[in-house]
Amino acid sequence: MIKLKLSLMMLLQYMMYAVWWVPLAAYLTNLDVSSFEKSMILSSMAIGCIVSPVIGMLADRFFPGQKVLASLNLLNAVMLLLAGTTNQPDLLFIFLLIAMLGYMPSWSLTSSIAMAHIPSEQFPKIRVFGSIGWVASGIFSVIFIRFLGFDFDGTNIPFYCGAAVSIVAVFVNLTLPNTPPPAKGQKGSLIDAFGLRTVELMRDKNFAIFIAFSFLSMIPFAMYYSFFSEFLLNINTKYISITMNWGVLAEMGFLLLVPLAIKKLGLRKVMIFGLIALTIRYFSFYAGGVINQSWMYFIGILIHGLIFGFFYVGGQIYIDKKAPAELKSQAQGFIFLVTFGAGLLVGNFICSELIANFKSDAGYNWNAIWGITTLSSVVLVVAFMLLFKNNDEHLKSR
């Protein structure tokens, strides 16, 4: 029964986010917001990542985990409801930013709650329901378009769906087994909360190079993560959420390959393959536009799990093996801050400006946009291969 509740917790937690985040860029395009406003709104998640460790630190020390999670999801529900009622960019940014300040700590909090009640080696069996929830969020698109006859992607309806799932999650959270604060009574600091003690590890040249490339990789990565729904809207894709969720569905399989690949190839080669996959993604988008073959777009979508699993999950494993025991958890927080915090924030602004520069009265020049993104990915993977010379034989899985 506990495993069932934990699995449902994970499913709802990722569904409530995916249902509105995936089509967000398409909605902002329909609102005709400026390039800067779009960047700010799409960066609400990244900004939430940057400051949410402080909220997480406070929650870890004072209140039971299930009550904190329920409170955060209630806040998320209220903010998503408000986001659905406005078409003012400044108010939309404020509502989504507050929602993300509450939502982003939930990723680590749900993991902590789960592993407090099951053996850690069984955690992947629970966590996979998060990916299932992300994919299943596409059902809302089908319900509204096919059965109710309403437009869904590119509208404000996903916000209301996210709020509804959040409310359901609140009640589920309150049925979870009691999870006392794991760090109750311990002193905390902002340095520890943001994982900044990990900076000491950057005296190792290879580690510093890894951190730098983790940050830089988010610039081209953001073009898909934050803006791909805008592209799908522009080419008149009917089921945007479902189309993008194919990538998450494939991700489940690719993640299972990560341990085997590390064992056979070593972490350095695995991370290189992840960056090569990033290049293949954008080349498939570019080539699909040039030769007018839309099926090639699905190559870039389906390869998402290979990029995420081999480079970003591989990077988390690299961090775990390089960091000393007393810095492991902080180091994981630091790499999340570097990538989905600062990296995605910078990437969103750069990608938004790139799109704006190739938009005219005649429409978007997506071939130019994907061409530039492809070239930047090529430079990234070549530079990583040349500079990251770490002999990681001792970092292979055992």
Residue 289 included in any domain? yes
pLDDT of res. 238: 83
Same domain for 161 and 211, yes or no, is: no
pLDDT of res. 204: 86
User: Residues of the chain whose pLDDT is less than 70?
Assistant: 56-60, 120-121, 182-183, 185-186, 188, 193, 195, 326, 328-330, 390-398
Residue 185 included in any domain? no
Here the contacts of 140-145 (C-beta below 8 Å, separation 24 or greater) are 140/19, 140/241, 141/23, 141/239, 141/240, 141/241, 141/242, 142/239, 142/242, 145/238, 145/239
CA separation for the pair 241, 301 (Å, rounded): 12
Same domain for 260 and 144, yes or no, is: no
**Predicted confidence (pLDDT) per residue in 173-221, tens digit:** 999 999 887 667 667 677 776 767 778 888 888 889 999 999 999 999 9
Q: What amino acid occupies position 96?
A: L
The domain tally of the chain equals 2
pLDDT of res. 329: 61
CA separation for the pair 348, 42 (Å, rounded): 7
Question: What domain range is 235 assigned to?
Answer: 196-398
Q: What amino acid occupies position 281?
A: R
Same domain for 266 and 361, yes or no, is: yes
Residue 186 included in any domain? no
pLDDT of res. 263: 84
CA separation for the pair 90, 353 (Å, rounded): 19
Residue 78 included in any domain? yes
Same domain for 200 and 115, yes or no, is: no
Residue 184 included in any domain? no
Same domain for 218 and 150, yes or no, is: no
Same domain for 241 and 356, yes or no, is: yes
Q: What CATH number should be reported for the domain holding residue 117? A: 1.20.1250.20
Same domain for 221 and 119, yes or no, is: no
Residue 187 included in any domain? no
Same domain for 305 and 174, yes or no, is: no
Same domain for 205 and 344, yes or no, is: yes
Same domain for 209 and 290, yes or no, is: yes
Same domain for 132 and 173, yes or no, is: yes
Same domain for 307 and 346, yes or no, is: yes
The pair of three-digit structure tokens given for residue 1, joined into one six-digit string: 């029964």
Residue 191 included in any domain? no
CA separation for the pair 314, 396 (Å, rounded): 11
**Predicted confidence (pLDDT) per residue in 248-274, tens digit:** 888 878 877 888 888 888 889 999 999
Residue 190 included in any domain? no
